[in-house]
Amino acid sequence: MNATADTYVTEDGRTIGGPVMEMKNITLRFGGVTAISDISFDIREGEIRAIIGPNGAGKSSMLNVINGFYHPQEGEIWFRGEKRKPMKPYQIAQQGIARTFQNIALFKGMSTLDNIMTGRFTHMKTNMFWQAIWKGPAEREEIENREIVEHVIDFLEIQSIRKTPVGRLPYGLQKRVELGRALAAQPKLLLLDEPMAGMNVEEKEDMSRFILDVNDEFGTTIALIEHDMGVVMDISDRVVVLDYGKKIGDGTPDEVRNNQDVIDAYLGVAHD
Amino acid sequence: MSADFYYTIEVIINGLMTGVLYSLVALGFVLIFKASGVFNYAQGVMALFAALTLVGLQNGQIPFAPLINSIFGTNLSTFGWTLPTVVAIVLALGVMVLFAYLVERYILRYLVGQDPVILFMATIGLAYFMEGFGDLMWGADIKKLDVGLPQGGNVWLESATEGWAEGFYGFYIDNLDIWATFIAVVLVIGLMVFSQYTKTGRALRAVADDNQAAMSVGISLRAIWVIVWSLAGFVALVAGTMWGAKSGVQFSLSLIALKALPVLMLGGFTSIPGAIVGGMIIGVGEKLFEYSIGPMIGGATENWFAYVLALLFLVFRPQGLFGEKIIERV
């Protein structure tokens, strides 16, 4: 596919490239239950792509398919112009896909700093021997990666909790640390599973700002799931809408807002 | 001060030193339990197997010699060389790493996500297998292990403290125990630094904390398991070597693993410092109890004291002295 032909510039001056990730006719079943049924969509380079839908629509399943926790029975996944073979989640992380979780999955006993350092795991290559003696390459690598992590910490404004075990932090900050861990990986595609779930208005505003800033400053491609319609329509470039495992809408926020199927799915429709 | 007082001190010191050896075995349990939630029943047998391998390599024993002899009617026993201790230790370490890989490849891989009790049962099976395998490979006779550490009472300490009180002939402390303590301390500090400040150490802690999240940042669970079991194998080698040098490499060594259980109940299953302190409390406790109360009730209290102490802990502080209380926000 010719990527350059698809490139366009948004109103606020960001360049959106060709597709980074293409989901083609994905079907995922759990036993007799079809969680995702024949869904296709793409995620383009540099955009913020939202996946929305009512509860049980298959949004989280879709994210788990992208990051390899689930393996679809049918369909193809194309990442950066190549068809992806079935892979383990850690291999997918090594390819440059990072994620956060709906119910925060941080390493609770570890400090904020250590949590975010684990995000650098795939970028650190020295072997066990050098690590064991902690000199030479291992020490250099540790320092280099530490700098990147400190940058992330500054960016997210969490300097004051660097040494705090994350289990003790309030919910909103934990969400931010988790975003930090994903950012530290400098991912080519960042997946956010309900980044604003359970937050108050102020925390939501902070999080929205961070998501926009990440996208703007680092050009990171972001795919996110979110329940809060207002937030989604504000920050995303394109939205795909799922309902009962099927795709019922795909387009810009305005297009989606005026799509009759989407309105029916959200407001309910009279059956006669 | 009376001689009695100094003898009590001597008992305490010797208890501490024995405790260190218990700690070494307990440490192997903690490593694996922390990273994978598996209670590895085979840890004691691993120490035995590591020690057997070390002695066998050192003496140039041909592995499986009795088996080969009985099949082919040959009369093999040794290669006829002896390996330097350092080379033998490195090779034995290699064997333990290979063992860790095989455990992951042929056991753990198929039991991912099963109940802890199923994994526990698997390690019981593993323990019996290894005991038999070690027997088959190296023979069941008691072997003398000499890794070049000084043995016997420390003469300097004994003569320096002689005459501190009337009827006191100086502290008797075994050189080997002193060395074992020193090595254990270095080992523990090394392990703690490794887990705090290196990428792999962080990955180990991450996996211990949350499997899924660890995978999502690119950590391979299988690789981590091999590393953890290798580390446990390394600790088993150290523990097996120390016990072997002290009392000969024999199959009753694997029973020491049972003493590690009360140590863990005291120290907490998830804490490295806990394993050390727990070992020392048990070591000192059982020696002191035997010294002071033992004669009144017929002796041999060392066999059960540790278990009774552990039982008391289970009643009053089930997470152990240092075990993690789960931090949960409400």
Give ipTM to 2 decimals.
0.82
- CATH superfamily, domain A3-96+187-267, is P-loop containing nucleotide triphosphate hydrolases (3.40.50.300)
pLDDT of residue A5 exceeding 60, the answer is no
How does residue B126 score in pLDDT terms, banded at 50, 70 and 90? Answer: very high
Cross-chain CB nearest to B217 (options A109, A121, A128):
A121
User: Which residues on chain A are in Cβ contact (under 8 Å) with B217?
Assistant: 93, 98, 118-119, 121-122, 181, 185
pLDDT of residue A151 exceeding 90, the answer is yes
Share of chain B above pLDDT 90, in %: 34
Which pairing describes strands A189-193 and A33-44: parallel, antiparallel, or unpaired?
A: unpaired
Highest mean pLDDT among A160-174, B108-122, B244-258: A160-174
User: Position B206: which residue type?
Assistant: A
* Per-residue confidence (pLDDT) for residue A270, from 0 to 100: 65
Which pairing describes strands A238-243 and A48-52: parallel, antiparallel, or unpaired?
A: parallel
Across the range B148-173, mean pLDDT stands at 82
Cross-chain CB nearest to A106 (options B197, B213, B215):
B213
pLDDT of residue A4 exceeding 60, the answer is no
pLDDT of residue B182 exceeding 70, the answer is yes
Give the phi and the psi of residue B7 in degrees, each rounded to 5.
Answer: -65, -35
**Residue to test with chain A: of B194, B215, B216, most A Cβ within 10 A:** B216
* Per-residue confidence (pLDDT) for residue B329, from 0 to 100: 45
- Structure confidence by residue, pLDDT tens digits, B69-107: 888 888 888 888 888 999 999 999 999 999 999 999 999
* Closest CA of chain A from B267, distance in Å: 18
Across the range B157-167, mean pLDDT stands at 81
Residue of higher predicted confidence among A127 and A85: A85
Mean pLDDT across chain B, nearest whole number?
Answer: 87
d(CA B52, CA B253): 10
B153, B72 contact by CB (below 8 A): no
* Per-residue confidence (pLDDT) for residue B324, from 0 to 100: 62
Across the range B319-325, mean pLDDT stands at 71
How does residue B323 score in pLDDT terms, banded at 50, 70 and 90? Answer: low
Where do the domains of chain B lie?
A: 3-316
d(CA B114, CA B107): 12
How does residue B327 score in pLDDT terms, banded at 50, 70 and 90? Answer: very low
How does residue B259 score in pLDDT terms, banded at 50, 70 and 90? Answer: confident
How does residue B234 score in pLDDT terms, banded at 50, 70 and 90? Answer: very high
User: Which residues on chain B are in Cβ contact (under 8 Å) with A118?
Assistant: 202-203, 206, 214, 217, 219
How does residue A132 score in pLDDT terms, banded at 50, 70 and 90? Answer: confident
Where do the domains of chain A lie?
A: 3-96+187-267, 112-180
pLDDT of residue A3 exceeding 50, the answer is no
Least confident stretch, A192-201, B53-62, B182-191, B251-260:
B251-260
* Per-residue confidence (pLDDT) for residue A272, from 0 to 100: 58
User: Position A230: which residue type?
Assistant: G
* Per-residue confidence (pLDDT) for residue A46, from 0 to 100: 93
HEC assignment per residue over A36-82: EEEEEEEEECCCEEEEECCCCCCHHHHHHHHCCCCCCCEEEEEECCE
- Structure confidence by residue, pLDDT tens digits, A64-102: 999 999 999 999 999 998 999 999 999 999 999 999 998
* Per-residue confidence (pLDDT) for residue A26, from 0 to 100: 95
d(CA B44, CA B130): 10
pTM higher than the cut 0.80: yes
* Per-residue confidence (pLDDT) for residue A66, from 0 to 100: 95
Across the range B35-49, mean pLDDT stands at 88
d(CA B286, CA B283): 6
B267, B26 contact by CB (below 8 A): yes
Q: Which of B175, B143, B132 is nearest to B54 (CA)?
A: B143
* Closest CA of chain B from A99, distance in Å: 7
Query: Which helix (H) or strand (E) segment is B229 a member of?
Result: helix B221-247
* Per-residue confidence (pLDDT) for residue A16, from 0 to 100: 87
Mean pLDDT across chain A, nearest whole number?
Answer: 89
d(CA B107, CA B304): 34
* Per-residue confidence (pLDDT) for residue B328, from 0 to 100: 44
- Structure confidence by residue, pLDDT tens digits, A44-55: 999 999 999 888
Q: Across the strands, what pairs with A161?
A: none
Cβ-defined contact of B198 to A110 (cutoff 8 Å): no
> In terms of DSSP H, where are the helices of chain B?
3-36, 43-58, 65-72, 85-106, 116-138, 155-161, 175-197, 199-209, 211-216, 221-247, 256-267, 272-292, 305-316
Q: Which residue do the tokens 């996500």 mark?
A: B113
pLDDT of residue B256 exceeding 80, the answer is no
pLDDT of residue A2 exceeding 60, the answer is no
Cross-chain CB nearest to A122 (options B202, B208, B218):
B218
